[in-house]
Amino acid sequence: VALFDPLGMQSAVLETDEHGTFVGSSYLYATARDWARFGQFLLQDGVWNGKEILPAGFVAWMREAAPASKVYGRGQVWIEAPGD
């Protein structure tokens, strides 16, 4: 996957559901080391080895409140339950 290659995430496997749709909440399998790379990448706001991989502001958007959700307290992509 284009996102994982620049990060050196060689073990990452992103599977789809039965319709071929990527599911953001699951179906991404990787070693602990590769998950750590992904976490560091997010901490660096989508920049890896000095190269912008994600557009500026995208990681911040992932953390923004999702006001239409009554189930989750915040997060467009990075989801936390109320009270977390």
Strands (E), 8-66: 13-14, 28-29, 47-48, 51-52
DSSP state of 80: B
pLDDT at 22: 78
Shortest CA distance to 14 belongs to which of 33, 43, 35?
35
pLDDT at 82: 58
Beta bridge partners of 28: 14
Strands (E), the chain: 13-14, 28-29, 47-48, 51-52
pLDDT tens per residue across all 84 residues of the chain: 688 999 999 999 988 888 888 776 678 899 999 999 999 999 999 999 999 999 999 998 888 766 666 665 555 565 555 555
pLDDT at 27: 80
Total-model pTM: 0.73
**13 contacts: CB under 8 Å, gap ≥ 6:** 28, 29, 30
